[in-house]
Amino acid sequence: MRCGAPVERIVVRGGRARGVRGVGGEEITARRAVLADVDAVSLYTRLLDPAELPRRLLADLSRFEWDAGTIKVDWTLDEPIPWSSPQVRLAGTVHVTEGIDALTHTLGQLATGTIPGRPFLIMGQYALTYPTRQPAGRDTVWAYTHVPQEVRGDAGGELTGRWDARELDKFADRMAMQVKRAAPGFGALVRQRRVTGTRELQASDGNLVGGAINGGTAAVHQLAVFRPIPAHLG
C-alpha cells in the first residue's frame, strides 16, 4: 500500500494496463488489472495517454456530461426539528419539497442553468438512530441540494454562481427557508451552521468536479452501457 502517493500515469504495454507510475517515478506492476477510483474524464484524459485510446472513445468523452453541482449545509440544533408532521421525525432521511409539481419545476430550473428559488433538499437526521452524535435533547442535521454547473440566472434574483462566502450564506438561508416551511420554528433552534460549496467539495475530493457527486449525470443516456465505454477489465 502507498498512502498519499498520487499516481501520474497508468502504464500501458501491449494494449493493456500493466501498472501505475507515481509522481516520483516509482512504477508498481499490476498482475491482473488497474482499478481507478476516479472520474471518467480524469481517467481517460490524464491518467492514460490519449494515443493509447480509440478515437471513438475520445470523441465520446467530448460529450461527457457532469451532473449538477452540490451545496451542503450542516446544522447543530437546540432541539429536534419541529416538523409539522410528527411522522417525519421517524425518518433518517427526509426529502423536502412542496410536491411533485414543485420538484419538476426545480429540475427544470437546473436544466436551464437557473439557481432554484426554492431548492429541493435531501436531509439527514440521525439523532434517533445515533443518539451519541449530539448532546441529549439536541440534534445535528445536514441537507444538500443541487445547483447548475454553469449558472445562467437565479430564480431569486440575487446570486451569480460565484459561490463565494456571501453567496453561499444567502443560498444557505434559502435552504433553511425550505425547512422552515415544513417545520415552523426551525430557525430559532439553530446554534451553528457550516456551509460547504461546490469548490470546497472539489477541493476535498478531486472526483467531485464542480460539486458533482454522481461522477457524471445519472440520466439514462449516460448509464450502464451508455457510459463512455461499457465496464471492462484491463
- Mean pLDDT taken over the chain: 92
Domain range summary for the chain, segments of one domain joined by +: 7-64+220-226, 69-204
Q: Is the pLDDT of residue 232 over 60?
A: no
**Whether residue 234 has pLDDT greater than 50:** no
231 band by pLDDT with thresholds 50, 70 and 90 = low
**pLDDT for residue 233 is more than 70:** no
**pLDDT-derived band of residue 230, with 50, 70 and 90 as boundaries?**
low
Indicate the pTM of the whole model.
0.87
Report the distance separating Cα 93 and Cα 125, nearest Å.
Answer: 6
pLDDT tens sequence across 37-96: 999 889 998 999 988 888 888 888 888 899 999 999 999 999 999 999 999 999 999 999
CATH 3.30.519 fits 69-204, yes or no: yes
pLDDT at 221 over 90: no
Q: What pLDDT is recorded for position 98?
A: 93
